[in-house]
Structure 1
Amino acid sequence: MKRLYHWTLSLADHPYAIWALIVVAFAESSFFPIPPDILMIPMIIARPNKAFLIAGIAMAASVTGGLLGYAIGALAFEQVGRPILEALGKGDTALEFNARFNDMGFWPVLIAGLTPFPYKVITIMSGWTGMPLGTFLVTSIIARGGRFFIVAGLLWKFGDPIRDFIEKRLGLALTLFLLVLLGGFALVKFI
């Protein structure tokens, strides 16, 4: 896994880094284990004037890859989807989660798209459970766009010093923000 991580990171220096970002962002949304952030971050630090273009490309490729994950869940769950989820250690919880997934609406896609939770799990589950494609697509655009544009904005504004924070703590910060947001909704609902 470490070799795969370093190989993916080395793609950021390649002359075809944008194409590598497209491939990694697409694949990460349906089956690849390494997130596109590790390519995006060095690419944006090297070219801060292209930060938002890079984020837009990552978002488009990620959402398109998410559609592949959705199709895997909808059309080939037993043959492809279940083995991917089992490889990620999520196979046992898939059946239990299936019963509640669509009751949660767009929240699983939004949360997985913004946080370190493997987005590919949610793309496959969305197709498997029959989440409306429109809901999945709009929420994926908002979530992945939010994640990638937050990273791009922070790197554009603060540059290299923010890199450590993004690589180590941004996922935690977004997770805490979403927990507070969900807690607020729950509080309003019960008051």
Structure 2
Amino acid sequence: MVDAILFPIPAFFLQVSLSALNPDNALWLATLGFAGCMIGTPIGYAIGRTSGYRLLRRFVKQEKLDRVESLFRKHGEMAILIGSFTPIPFKLFTVASGCTNFPLRKLMLYAAIGRAAKFYIVGLLFYAYGRSAEHMVHGKTLTFIMLAAGALLATVWLLMRVRRKRLNARPNAASKPEDLCP
């Protein structure tokens, strides 16, 4: 839970270490990590809403902060999805969402999709392959799996967005009664 708020060590490292010790508990650990993330996400969001700018200004220059805000307003959904898979601490995305007044329900939705995929991919690897999954996680295998999962989610998101734009751009033929008769 604290990974989504302020804890400096990402939950991923804790999940990998504990899953390597006892692979039979890997799915349970994935569930705990996911649930904790979902509890911590709105707390990180609230921190961003209330004091995020003061906090971020300590670490980021104003020009970069303005740029991040602009990009996050434009591509927040994609940032959250991709951020769920990167080694970048997820708390940056929750706090940034609050700072930019990104809708909380969208943050929760995209965080749920991305974080569930990340936690359960790791959990399933350890559950299926036992301790030998540790070599996959520390090697390039997990990187490729995460990139593929992130790319798949990003593609689905992009296709849904294009479809929604097409549906909104399509004129509604039955909107006026006089349009129905020649």
- TM-score bracket, shorter-length normalisation: 0.7 to 0.9
Find 1:175's aligned residue among 147, 151, 158: 147
The equivalent of 2:122 in structure 1 is: 151
TM-score where L is the length of structure 1: 0.71
Q: In structure 2, list runs of 5 or more residues that go unmatched.
A: 163-182
In the aligned structure 2, how far is the partner of 1:118 from the partner of 1:90? 19
Q: Is the 8 A contact 1:116 1:171 kept in 2?
A: no
In the aligned structure 2, how far is the partner of 1:70 from the partner of 1:172? 30
In the aligned structure 2, how far is the partner of 1:60 from the partner of 1:90? 33
Q: In structure 1, list runs of 5 or more residues that go unmatched.
A: 1-25
Paired amino acid for 1:175: L
Find 2:22's aligned residue among 47, 66, 72: 47
Q: Which moved more, 1:45-54 or 1:138-147?
A: 45-54
The equivalent of 2:108 in structure 1 is: 137
Deviation at 1:182, TM superposition (A): 4.7
Q: For the pair shown, which has the larger CA radius of gyration, 1 or 2?
A: 2
Query: How many correspondences in the alignment?
Result: 159
| 1:163–1:135 CA distance, 2 compared to 1 (3 A) | same
| 1:180–1:156 CA distance, 2 compared to 1 (3 A) | closer
Task: Give the SS at the match of 1:77.
Answer: helix
Deviations 1:116-139 (A, max 9, x none): 122111111111111111100111
Paired amino acid for 1:138: L
Aligned pairs for 1:1-191 (under 5 A) are 26-83=1-58, 86=59, 93-169=64-140, 170-171=142-143, 173-175=145-147, 178-179=150-151, 182=154, 185=158
Deviation at 1:91, TM superposition (A): 6.7
Identity of aligned residues (%): 25
Paired amino acid for 1:77: G
- Structure possessing the higher relative contact order (Cα contacts under 8 Å, 6 or more residues apart): 2
Deviation at 1:51, TM superposition (A): 1.6
